[in-house]
Amino acid sequence: MNKLVHQFILLPLAIRVLQHDKKNFSDFKMRNVYQGKIDSSITQLQQDLSFTKKLMYTQNHIDVKQIAQCSYRWSSRHDTGVITYTPGELKDMTRKVIEVYLYGSKSTAFEPRDQGW
């Protein structure tokens, strides 16, 4: 259950970071090399987030709400709690998630884009 809650918190953060980075790549001359990989990783992250939400809500009946910038309240049928991170912890955990999706065990094959120069 704890792993699901952490995924529910970290996956959207990783998606936002990659989407922001994708915008920054638009100024690169060789942006097509990077955009295909980032798009593939974002798609995989979104699929995993959808699966995580499904597990949380339908099977485990866990609800998570952000109560402060780095604090989240979770509740299930039998228990409730608060998870608090430091900004540095969130940054480090999000970086690790992104690494796994870009070139780790969750890395997926992607089709390079040929959009010209």
Do residues 46 and 110 make contact, with C-beta atoms less than 8 angstroms apart?
Answer: no
Do residues 48 and 106 make contact, with C-beta atoms less than 8 angstroms apart?
Answer: yes
Top pLDDT among 3 and 115 is at 3
Sequence-separated (6 or more) residues with CB below 8 Å from residue 96: none
pLDDT tier for residue 91 given thresholds of 50, 70 and 90: very high
Instruction: Specify the pLDDT at position 24.
Output: 86
DSSP per position, 21-53: HHHHHTTSTTHHHHHHHHHHHHHHHHHHHHHHH
Top pLDDT among 1 and 77 is at 77
pLDDT tier for residue 94 given thresholds of 50, 70 and 90: very high
Query: Mean pLDDT of all residues in the chain?
Result: 90
